[in-house]
Amino acid sequence: MRENFFDAKETMLYNGLKIVTVKRNTQLMSLNVGINVGSIYEDESQRGIAHFIEHMMFKGTHSKNNEEINDILEGLGGDYNAYTDYTRTVYSITALSNELEPAVSIIADMLINSIFPQSELNKERGVILSEIKTSIDDIEDLSYRKINEIAFDRNPIKYEILGYEYSVNNIERKHLVEFYKKYYVPNNCCISVVSPFEHEYVMDIIKKYFNLWKYNEILKKYVIIENNKPIIKKTFKKDIEQGTITYLYTFYGLTEKEELALRILNNKFGDSSNSILFKELREKRGLVYDVYSTLDISKNIKTLYIFTSMDSKNIDSALNIIDLCIDKIINKEIIFDSNTMKQIKKVFKTSIASTLEDSSELSSYVLLQIMEDDDIFKFEHEMEYIDNMKGEDLYSVANKVLKNPTIYIIMPEKSE
């Protein structure tokens, strides 16, 4: 039955490297490689180091310099990207299927043989400092940075993934090399490949370039789990035209079925153009241009955010409407009847189908599942849960999650 969705095979090499190969009818190959380290594993002196290393992976290996790496990646004729978040660092390539071996070869070289040349390090430090300043100037990014800072005392998601100007300036080559040697090991890495090739063929390529990567024991920093503080804070900023409102909730301890119910609720609540928040704040009252809610349900990160921006004179009204929408859900004044649930389920199943149909999205999904030590066919169970889910399940999870938020407001500072 599972091959009706996709034909997948999971393998672990002797060095601890986890691989999932997916065979499907496609002209493309999508390669995703994830290292299980992100900003939550950094110490105070290391803020931003995981992200810094992500940048430096493209800057030189024992056999290739920065230009040669970029020329090879460009020569694949597809898309390549990398990102760092709280829990992981991911490198991805999507190109025509006959580029699979060159793609695996260059990614392996970058991960295993990077040398962190000092000249490139100094240049990339400037790039990252510019990225940090750009994030601070972006009012939406700033809202998220600040609400994370005020919501927690010890939870490491209070710290910025990019790091800070002081910490990035203090990171030296020896610090990068030490962090890299500690975490960039095969037993802390996962690979997913979607292609038209047989599993054995793909595995032969991966073994060719990754087999000599040496296993090394790692001891990760303990991640502190902490709920958000239920407070409201308002600050003022110069040179902005609009204010922002950001809500943050945490929800540790939900069951798998409750997390699924929350994902379904979130889609109806704020994660679609037809959401409850969008209708109330924009369509009915014209208070905002856009409003959305977003979830993170990684193992050590359980957060729900609401974000919107508006003319500062409308901030109090927008706050009242957001609270009213939440109260209406909790008090069952917004009805999740059988017709509503049928539509919600259809939207959710469409989202799953879209992921399965797109080679790049599928490769990314598979990678994230194996990095979380989760079943790559988990969506099968989720679709069964969805079929049996009732409106009461959404009300129940709303009562557990949508309470005691951290609320952060940015207001334009009035010129004198």
The predicted pLDDT at position 168 comes to 97
Same-domain status, 244 and 101 = no
Same-domain status, 155 and 240 = no
Domain end marker among 152, 176, 210: 210
| H/E element, 223 | none
Question: Within a domain: residue 222?
Answer: no
Question: Within a domain: residue 226?
Answer: no
- pLDDT tens digits for range 11-41: 999 999 999 999 999 999 999 999 999 999 9
Question: Within a domain: residue 224?
Answer: no
Same-domain status, 199 and 240 = no
Domain end marker among 161, 176, 210: 210
Whole-number Å distance between alpha carbons of 416 and 413 = 9
Q: Mean pLDDT over all residues of the chain? A: 94
Same-domain status, 7 and 124 = yes
Q: What are the C-alpha distances in Å from 99 to residues 75, 167, 197?
A: 9, 39, 12
Whole-number Å distance between alpha carbons of 64 and 106 = 10
Q: Average the pLDDT over 75-99 and give the result.
A: 97
Question: Within a domain: residue 223?
Answer: no
DSSP conformation letters of 108-153:
HHHHHHB---HHHHHHHHHHHHHHHHHHHHSHHHHHHHHHHHHH-S
Quote the number of domains for the chain: 2
Same-domain status, 199 and 257 = no
Query: The CATH number of the domain where 328 resides is what?
Result: 3.30.830.10
Same-domain status, 148 and 236 = no
Same-domain status, 92 and 196 = yes
**Pairing verdict, β 406-412 and 232-237:** parallel
Instruction: Using the structure block, give the residue that is written with the tokens 């989202």.
Output: 351
Domain end marker among 143, 176, 210: 210
- Residue 61: strand pairing partners: 114
The identity of residue 8, as a single letter, is: A
Question: Within a domain: residue 16?
Answer: yes
Q: How many CA atoms lie within 13 A of 401 on its CB side?
A: 33
Residue bearing the bigger pLDDT, 220 or 366 = 366
- pLDDT tens digits for range 293-332: 999 999 899 999 999 999 999 999 999 999 999 999 999 9
Q: Average the pLDDT over 175-203 and give the result.
A: 97
> Between vectors from CA 260 to CA 256 and to CA 263, what angle results, nearest 5°?
140
- pLDDT tens digits for range 126-153: 999 999 999 999 999 999 999 999 999 9
**8 Å CB contact between 100 and 27:** no
Same-domain status, 250 and 394 = yes
The identity of residue 91, as a single letter, is: Y
Whole-number Å distance between alpha carbons of 278 and 156 = 31
Structural domain that includes position 120: 2-210
First to last CA, the chain: 69
The predicted model scores a pTM of: 0.93
Q: Average the pLDDT over 334-352 and give the result.
A: 87
